[in-house]
């Protein structure tokens, strides 16, 4: 591993101040034009165009709509930098001048509003900016830079699709994988954590089978609406009564659909249930409890057949390599001002970022970057109003401030890459 001094980092980052207006315009463009999972064609085209202009070998359509840039720059390690690019079916309510009014078609064929409510527009902008700076300063480092713009992180398996589509055939297996996520912390903060950072997650689709009929004659039916209501309430006891208080876990019924009009009892109900835990054994216990409860409620309702339970997606916990994470944390501390580097909390959100390092068999490190108005966030924290007053990721009101968020996110990626690259002329 080449030693890092401030000199290569400072020289690579020197053009960043002049580049910020262009990166702001890029971010605003992405925010105005969000695209759902595996539909990120406009976003992918712009990112590919920028990589080509910076001299990267560019591969498009990797994992359907993913973009990969390869920059070979002599002998040295291969560093993979990853950003996700998909948006969510959320109607924006930020009031921003550049708020999204876009619409798209979801996986079920429904017309839905679309918003970058999780910061993936910022992630894409950060990585595009970092790639440009590193490409423009090739004399400061040696090795191979692998830039990955991943589609479909939001529950659709974009990472695994890119890997299955031959991602590592393009530039060989990386020596390390780095990534980051925008969070509702104060802009300028960088948060790191060795070991487990984000939860493992399962999403289940449960179909409860009833017997439909006229709303005036419920005695002739098996009502799936009543069955579903009972299931929803019973599932709330899984964490409170079947998981130890020392083992964090979440069970959320995020979607429930039954019937279409008030005077018709439907013949089925569909629920989508999301579970999260930091321990795989706990996640398995959650799934077993859900299956037991759902089957018992169906049997108790005299359902004509057992429920159907489908696993829609399953993400492992995001776990940072301890040595690589500790090393990078020290590098960040040497670069960023005192008071901006903090330990990250455990995050019950989930990510498929870890699949890249796992598939390559190499260390991976994922960290968090704050993006909201510092005074507002810190005041809300100290007054106990953070959960109620500060919009989180996936909120229709989630809106990062542009500065210093843009600068810090580009710097973290550049500093991380240079921490592993060989440095010509540096001992």
Q: CA geometry: angle at 71 spanning 179 and 421, to 5°?
A: 60
- Beta strand segments in 259-379, E: 264-265, 268-277, 308-315, 318-320, 341-343, 364-372
Looking at domain 200-314, its CATH class is alpha beta
Residue 61 backbone zone (phi > 0: left; psi -120 to 50: alpha; other: beta) = left
Residue 427 has pLDDT above 50, yes or no: no
9-58: pLDDT as tens digits: 999 999 999 999 999 999 999 999 999 999 999 999 999 999 999 999 99
Q: Would you say 116 is a known binding-site residue?
A: no
31 appears as a binding residue in the annotation: no
- Please indicate whether residue 352 is annotated as part of the active site: no
Tell whether omega for the bond before 254 is within 30 degrees of 0, i.e. cis. no
Does residue 62 carry a pLDDT above 80? yes
Residue in 20, 144, 127, 145 with CA at minimum distance from that of residue 84: 127
Query: What pLDDT sits at residue 426?
Result: 54
Which of 114, 94, 127 shows the shortest CA–CA distance to 27?
127
Q: Which of helix, strand or coil describes residue 133?
A: helix
134: its two tokens? 């590193």
Contact between 265 and 228 (Cβ < 8 Å): no
The values of phi and psi at residue 87, to 5°, are -110, -175
Residue 2's pLDDT is 43
Active-site residue, selected from the candidate residues 84, 86, 175, 327: 86
Angle at 395 between CA 237 and CA 390, to 5 degrees: 90
The predicted-structure confidence for 278-320, as pLDDT tens digits, reads as follows 999 999 999 999 999 999 999 999 999 999 999 999 999 999 9
Give yes or no for residue 156 having a pLDDT over 90. Answer: no
* Alpha-carbon distance values, 257 to 103, 218, 270, 419 (Å): 22, 19, 5, 50
Average pLDDT of every residue of the chain? 96
Beta partners for 314?
202
What does the alpha-carbon distance between residue 22 and residue 321 come to, in Å, rounded to a whole number? 34
Write down the catalytic residue from 35, 40, 153, 175: 153
Identify the burial level of 279 via C-beta atoms within 10 angstroms of its C-beta, where 0-12 means exposed, 13-18 middle and 19 or more buried.
middle
Output DSSP code: residue 347: B
Within this chain, domains 6-198+317-420 and 200-314 share the same CATH topology: no
Q: What is the mean pLDDT of residues 192-206?
A: 97
In 3D space, the residue among 178, 205, 106 whose CA is nearest the CA of residue 356 turns out to be 178
Angle ∠(221,223,228) on CA atoms, nearest 5: 165
Contacts of 274 (CB under 8 A, 6+ apart): 201, 202, 203, 204, 250, 251, 252, 254
- CA 194 from centre of chain: 18
pLDDT tier, 155 (very low <50, low <70, confident <90, very high otherwise): confident
CATH of 6-198+317-420 among 3.40.630.10, 3.40.190.10, 1.10.3720.10, 3.40.50.2020: 3.40.630.10
CB 123 within 8 A of CB 9: no
163-187 average pLDDT score: 97
Q: At what angle do helices 280-300 and 224-242 cross, to 10 degrees?
A: 140
Q: Is the pLDDT of residue 425 over 80?
A: no
pLDDT of residue 5: 46
Residue 274 CB neighbours (<10 A): 18
Question: How far apart, in Å, are the Cα atoms of 395 and each of 91, 108, 178, 385?
Answer: 9, 22, 26, 16
Q: What's the pTM?
A: 0.93
Helix (H) or strand (E) holding 332: helix 322-335
- The residue whose two tokens read 């876009």 is 102
Residue pair 204/287 in contact (Cβ under 8 Å)? The answer is yes
Mean pLDDT in residue range 232-253:
97
Q: Which two tokens stand for residue 16?
A: 């960043």
CA nearest to 209, candidates 133, 297, 318, 136: 297
Q: How far apart are CA 303 and CA 212, in angstroms?
A: 11
What's the whole-number mean pLDDT along residues 371-387?
97
The backbone torsions φ and ψ at residue 393, rounded to the nearest 5 degrees and listed phi first, read: -55, 140
Length of the chain (residues): 427
Residue 97 bears catalytic tag: no
The reply, when asked if residue 181 is annotated as ligand binding, is: yes
What's the rounded Cα separation, in Å, for the pair 162 and 344?
Answer: 28
Query: Domain ranges in the chain?
Result: 6-198+317-420, 200-314
**Cβ contact 78:143 at 8 Å:** yes
Q: What is the pLDDT of residues 74-103, one digit of tens each?
A: 999 999 999 999 999 999 999 999 999 999
């Amino acid at each position: 591993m080449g030693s890092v001094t401030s000199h290569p980092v400072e020289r690579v980052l020197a053009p960043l101040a002049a580049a910020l207006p262009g990166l702001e315009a890029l971010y605003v463009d992405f925010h105005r034009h969000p695209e759902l999972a595996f539909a990120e064609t406009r976003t992918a085209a712009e990112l590919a165009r920028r990589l080509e202009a910076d001299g990267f070998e560019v591969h498009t359509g990797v994992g359907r709509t993913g973009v990969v840039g390869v920059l070979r720059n002599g002998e040295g390690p291969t560093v993979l930098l990853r950003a996700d690019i998909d948006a969510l079916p959320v109607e924006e309510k930020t009031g921003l001048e550049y708020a999204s009014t876009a619409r798209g078609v979801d996986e079920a064929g429904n017309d839905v509003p679309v918003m970058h409510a999780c910061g993936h527009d910022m992630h894409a902008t950060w990585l595009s900016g970092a790639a440009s700076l590193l490409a423009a300063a090739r004399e400061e480092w040696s090795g191979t830079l692998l830039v990955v713009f991943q589609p479909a992180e939001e529950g659709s398996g974009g990472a695994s699709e890119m890997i299955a589509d031959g991602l590592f055939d393009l530039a060989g297996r990386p020596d390390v994988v780095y990534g980051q996520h925008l969070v509702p912390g104060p802009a300028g903060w960088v948060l790191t954590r060795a070991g487990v950072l984000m939860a493992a997650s399962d999403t289940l689709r449960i179909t409860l089978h009833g017997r439909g009929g006229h709303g005036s004659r419920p005695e002739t039916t098996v009502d799936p609406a009543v069955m579903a209501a009972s299931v929803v309430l019973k599932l709330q006891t899984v964490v409170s009564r079947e998981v130890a208080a020392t083992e964090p876990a979440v069970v959320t019924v995020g979607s429930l659909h039954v019937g279409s009009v008030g005077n018709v009892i439907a013949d089925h109900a569909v629920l989508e249930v999301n579970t999260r835990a930091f321990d795989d054994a706990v996640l398995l216990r959650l799934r077993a409890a859900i299956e037991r409860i759902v089957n018992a409620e169906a049997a108790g309702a005299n359902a004509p057949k057992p429920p159907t339970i489908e696993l829609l997606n399953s993400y492992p916990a995001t776990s940072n390599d301890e040595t690589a994470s500790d090393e990078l944390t020290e590098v960040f501390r040497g670069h960023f001002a005192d008071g901006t580097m903090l330990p990250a909390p455990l995050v019950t959100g989930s990510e498929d970022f870890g699949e890249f390092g796992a598939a390559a068999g190499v260390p991976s490190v994922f960290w968090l970057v704050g993006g909201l108005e510092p005074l507002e966030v810190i005041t809300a924290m100290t007054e106990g109003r953070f959960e109620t007053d500060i919009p989180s990721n996936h909120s229709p009101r989630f809106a990062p401030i542009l500065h210093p968020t843009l600068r810090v996110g580009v710097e973290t990626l550049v500093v991380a890459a240079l921490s592993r690259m060989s440095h010509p002329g540096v001992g």
